[in-house]
């Protein structure tokens, strides 16, 4: 079964036990993530067996863009299949599924796909914080342009630092 932070029974039934309710109240799990977890369980039961070995990490939502972070041995084909199924389930939302990684380049390339990344610049600010600038070719601007701020906010949340996208 796909590993999730909440109990499978609570997610499937929609009635949360005190432990699961506390996780939501404390902000460890956002309320909309319960629907995503339920959809993952349903996908696993309906035939995407690869989810059996996967672990749910977090879902980030900005506007109509939803980025789901999983951990496990999933191929790109499996990730796109899961994303397509979730996009159909959550109509009006564009869903991307990415594998957890501490490498910004790997995460950013998955989130921004099919746009290519030319490079990533790291700025160390005087206050000790770090900011990242992801450089994308100007020719790929049409792919990202409409959701640029959503992509920046989601990547910032995933990495825990300010991320900016620049077209060069």
Angstrom distance (rounded) from CA 134 to CA 78: 26
Q: Could you tell me where the DSSP H helices lie in the chain?
A: 8-13, 18-25, 31-45, 76-89, 104-112, 141-144, 148-159
What are 43-54's pLDDT values in tens digits? 888 877 888 888
Contact 23, 10 (CB under 8 A): no
Predicted pLDDT of residue 119:
93
Predicted pLDDT of residue 162:
93
Angle of the 76-89 helix axis to the 31-45 helix axis, nearest 10: 120
Handedness of CA 115, 79, 74, 67 (dihedral sign): positive
Angstrom distance (rounded) from CA 162 to CA 159: 8
Domain residue extents for the chain: 1-100, 115-168
Fold of 1-100: GMP Synthetase; Chain A, domain 3 (3.30.300)
Extract the tokens encoding 42: 């349903």
The more confidently predicted of residues 2 and 166 is 166
What are 113-156's pLDDT values in tens digits? 889 999 999 999 999 889 999 999 999 888 888 888 999 999 99
């Amino acid at each position: 079964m796909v590993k999730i932070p909440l109990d499978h029974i609570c997610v499937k039934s929609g009635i949360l036990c005190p432990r699961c309710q506390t996780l939501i109240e404390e902000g460890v799990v956002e309320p909309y993530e319960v629907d995503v977890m339920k959809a993952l369980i349903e996908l696993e039961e309906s035939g995407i067996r690869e989810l059996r070995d996967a672990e749910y990490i977090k879902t980030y939502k900005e506007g109509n863009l939803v980025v789901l972070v999983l951990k496990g041995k999933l191929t790109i084909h499996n990730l796109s299949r899961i994303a397509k199924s979730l996009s159909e389930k959550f109509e009006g939302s564009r869903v991307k599924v990415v594998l957890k990684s501490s490498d910004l380049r790997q995460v950013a390339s998955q989130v921004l796909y099919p746009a290519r990344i030319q490079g990533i610049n790291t700025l160390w600010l005087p206050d000790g914080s770090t900011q990242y600038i992801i450089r994308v070719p100007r020719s790929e601007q049409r792919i990202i342009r409409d959701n640029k701020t959503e992509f920046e906010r989601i990547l910032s949340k995933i990495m825990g630092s300010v991320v900016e996208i620049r077209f060069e």
